[in-house]
Structure 1
Amino acid sequence: MRLVIAQCSVDYAGRLTAHLPMATRLIMLKSDGSVLIHSDGGSYKPLNWMTPPCTVRQIEPDAEQAEAGLTELWEVSQTKTGDRLVISIAEVLADDTYEFGVDPGLVKDGVEAHLQELLAEHIEALGEGFSLVRREYMTAIGPVDILARDDGQKSVAVEIKRRGDIDGVEQLTRYLELMNRDPLLSPVQGVFAAQEIKPQARTLAEDRGIRCVVLDYDALRGMDDPETRLF
């Protein structure tokens, strides 16, 4: 990654046009081909950016631009769309390049596999009388997160997500259609469990007879005692 702190202005031309007046900014040139312009504020969002794949070409300022105090011009071109970002630099305050290597990716606390493990240990979170049959129940189109039985000993297929959206409901629907063809399992009910369920996903699930359950991650880990709550 190349990090350049410079006194610069930025002009974007594409589906719309945008202009950033001259100011001190951070220019990030990443190895994936993206270019991001940051200020010392505005949280994590760049002021302007160019997504990969793009190319960066350095242009010598003409006489008029040089007289205006510009020392460098960078033309950033988006290969697919043809969008252009022109960075006009008056002064470079710092220019450093770092080799990051391969990133292992973000490891989140409470990923779906961990939620599945916790819910299997505390299957009563789905309701009184529920019992675990097994985790990762394999079907012809993939594994169902949890196969359980309710208090009436009917089969229940549970799909677990961190954030439940329509795609998760569609996935569970496909599992249910397949599992309900098995006379040893049928009838199979569906439970869509997530830490957060979007309103559209809840509406679709309930329309298809699928019960929605919001998971309290801290409670499943035993870190939230309801008796100590004020409300």
Structure 2
Amino acid sequence: MRIIVADCSAEYSGRLNASLPPARRVLLIKADNSVLIFSELGSYKPLNWMAAPCTIREIDPADAGADDAGGSDEGADGEPPCMVLRVSADKSSDILEVTIRRIYSDETYDLGEDPGLVKDGVEDHLQRYLAEQIERIGEGAKLVRREYPTAIGPVDIMAVDADGTHVAIEIKRHGGIDGVEQLTRYCELLNRDPLLAPVRGIFAAQTITPQARVLAQDRGFECLLLDYDEMKGAESDELRLF
């Protein structure tokens, strides 16, 4: 993890265009080349970012200025840039270009391997109940396993439907856009495996925001509302070995 505190500006171009005027900000550059730009105040979310898979290059500020017709190499304070980071998405034409004019701190840390998120009790129970009651996703469905391992983390539930199609299920207590994005990453990765593809996705939660529902449906995912009390009441009283 590389953490840079600097005076910087940023331009995002591609499927959408956005810009950040010069200001002092924090840049997080992760090992997968993801770049996130944070401010001192406001939301916990970054102001702008480029997610992996992407390629990051440090380019000559003069070259960046030449690419920006009508642009200036100097900021509002007259200070020329000392570094330009160009981050290009691998699967689209999106580009995030960060122009850095003054660096206050530039540190790199090895965070080691992360054990992953430990789910709270309700979310963990929702996962277990749905695994035991897998036909809630459709008659004839069968469970493959919970916490199905992938290179980017475990999928909450992997199942197959009545037609034999693999189904990746992401479970949240309260489903938002971040959960849909997480399911998107899982499905994109799983669909690269010819032994699994095609893999379809189901976004399951106790509540799903309207924005998350629209995004999920746009990505081709099914939305499934989970009633915790009902699922808990349907839990089998039979003795189990595990």
- For structure 1, which runs of at least 5 residues remain unmatched after alignment? 120-134, 144-160, 166-193, 202-211, 221-231
Give 4+ residue runs of structure 1 displaced > 6 Å after superposition.
135-140
How far, CA to CA, are the matches of 1:92 and 1:38 in structure 2?
Answer: 15
Q: Select 1:75's aligned residue among 77, 86, 90.
A: 86
Change (3 A) 1:42 1:142: same
Which residue does the alignment assign to 2:73?
65
Q: TM-score under structure 1 normalisation?
A: 0.52
How far, CA to CA, are the matches of 2:60 and 2:90 in structure 1?
Answer: 22
Q: CA deviation at 1:33?
A: 2.2
Q: Select 1:109's aligned residue among 91, 104, 120.
A: 120
Q: CA deviation at 1:16?
A: 2.2
Conserved 8 A contact 2:10-2:96: yes
1:12-161 alignment to 2 at 5 Å?
A: 12-62=12-62, 65=73, 68-114=79-125, 141-142=141-142
**Aligned-residue CA RMSD in angstroms?**
4.0
Conserved 8 A contact 2:4-2:105: yes
SS of 2:45's equivalent in the other structure is: coil
Conserved 8 A contact 1:111-1:162: no
Moved more, 101-110 or 61-70: 61-70
Change (3 A) 1:89 1:164: closer
SS of 1:65's equivalent in the other structure is: coil
List per-residue Cα deviations over 1:9-37 (Å, max 9, x = no partner): 11111122211111000111111221111
**Bigger Rg, which one:** 1
Change (3 A) 1:65 1:100: same
Percent of aligned pairs with the same residue? 42
Q: Select 2:206's aligned residue among 196, 212, 216.
A: 196
Q: Which structure: greater strand fraction? A: 1
Letter in 1 for 2:206: E
Letter in 2 for 1:196: Q
Pairs aligned (count): 149
Q: TM-score under structure 2 normalisation?
A: 0.50
- For structure 2, which runs of at least 5 residues remain unmatched after alignment? 66-71, 144-170, 176-203, 214-224, 234-242
Which residue does the alignment assign to 1:7?
7
